[in-house]
Amino acid sequence: MIAVLLLIQLAVMFRNGYMPYAYVTAMLPFAALCVAGMLDVMLPYRPPAAGTAHGLPDGVPRTLPNSLPNDLPRDAASTGEPQPSPVPSQPAVLGTWMRLVAVASIVTAGLLTLPGQWAPKLSTALTADDSRPSRDAARWYIENVPDGHTVVTDDNIWTDLELAGKKPEPIWFYKLDLDPAVRGKLKNGWQDIDYFILGELTPTTLNDLPLVAEGLRHSVVVKSFGDNGQITVRKVIKPDCPADITATPSC
């Protein structure tokens, strides 16, 4: 059942659309249970420890009571005679070795392949500061753009602008198209937006957010942060403004 649930989650990943990071994280417990189940099946069976023969706990007599009829057979344990150790059959021994080889092969393959793939990613995760462009863009906007300008941004920068008390409140770019309450405040659509602070959006996202796409088409970059303009601050050009926004102070 655990494996079926994991397969269902994997199948959902192949649908078109946005995949939240949290969805992938939620799959990890199911994957871990599947790994534990496979190891339980593949690892050799360990017989009960000494003192638990016949499935009885310690302290329970293992001799037949003397009141049993004389014609009933008595095993070696009931007569106090030592029992010979059971000898595993050849198929059982072969199955044990096959499971051991399978487990050893999986572990060896993991040790040979995972470090080469994960080491660079782990190094990047421990040393790179991927959030710095977002912090720098938010700091620049807070220090250089006064209140009174409507800005559309992502969820990370939105939090920084909110904590700084920027007015009017910043707009998360998804809400610009998907939240009727937000659209209701922008009577003129993209023309009521002054700034965008965003990274590069995929074509699929822009197709799903036509108002955001239209605003970006009517904007110019005034400041960029990070390698190759990872985060850009864009000024929206109003219909009555020239392409050179510095030529008209109001723009």
- Beta strand extents in the chain (DSSP E only): 151-153, 171-172, 195-198, 219-225, 231-236
| Res 81: pLDDT | 56
| Res 135: pLDDT | 95
List the helix and strand counts (H, then E) for the chain. 9, 5
| Res 247: pLDDT | 57
Is 75 within a domain? no
C-alpha to C-alpha distance for 213 and 80, rounded to whole angstroms: 88
| Res 80: pLDDT | 54
Is 149 within a domain? yes
Q: In sequence order, what are the beta bridge partners of 225?
A: 231
Is 165 within a domain? yes
C-alpha to C-alpha distance for 211 and 215, rounded to whole angstroms: 6
The number of folded domains in the chain is 1
Is 125 within a domain? no
pTM attached to this predicted model: 0.57
| Res 100: pLDDT | 80
| Res 22: pLDDT | 80
Look-up of token digits 């929206």: 236
Positions in the chain short of pLDDT 70: 17-18, 43-92, 242-251
Could you tell me the residue range of the domain that residue 169 belongs to?
A: 132-247
Is 145 within a domain? yes
Is 225 within a domain? yes
Strand order from edge to edge, sheet including 195-198: 171-172, 151-153, 195-198, 231-236, 219-225
Helix (H) or strand (E) holding 161: helix 155-163
Is 18 within a domain? no
| Res 35: pLDDT | 84
Distances (CA, A) of 81 to 69, 70, 181: 20, 18, 87
Tens of pLDDT along 24-79?
888 888 888 988 888 777 766 666 555 554 545 555 555 544 544 555 455 544 55
Is 106 within a domain? no
C-alpha to C-alpha distance for 50 and 47, rounded to whole angstroms: 9
| Res 64: pLDDT | 47
Helix (H) or strand (E) holding 217: helix 210-217
